């Protein structure tokens, strides 16, 4: 079940229950007013490749459990 949208200026949030394990989770975003950069499709792209994605998935040396 997804709860109502809560305005926590400048954030917006809602809670929902994970259907697998029943945990209550929160999703929070900080919306922004679109600017000139949002209209430029080249500035909206995040350039990446599988090597960068794989490297980002490996924990840093100091963060390994």
Average pLDDT value for the chain: 79
Reply yes or no on whether the pLDDT at 15 is more than 70: yes
Residue predicted with more confidence, 58 or 17: 17
Say if 37 falls within a structural domain.
Answer: yes
Reply yes or no on whether the pLDDT at 54 is more than 80: no
- Residue 40: C-alpha distances to residues 5, 32, 35, 63 (Å): 30, 16, 10, 37
Say if 65 falls within a structural domain.
Answer: no
Say if 63 falls within a structural domain.
Answer: no
Residue predicted with more confidence, 12 or 40: 12
Decide: helix, strand or coil at residue 54.
helix
For residue 45, the enclosing domain spans 6-58
């Amino acid at each position: 079940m997804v709860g109502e949208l809560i305005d926590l200026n400048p954030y917006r949030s809602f809670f929902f229950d994970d259907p697998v394990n029943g945990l209550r989770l929160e999703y929070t975003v900080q919306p922004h007013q679109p600017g000139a950069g949002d209209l430029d499709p080249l500035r909206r792209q995040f350039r990446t490749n599988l090597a960068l994605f794989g490297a980002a998935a490996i924990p840093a040396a100091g963060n390994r459990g």
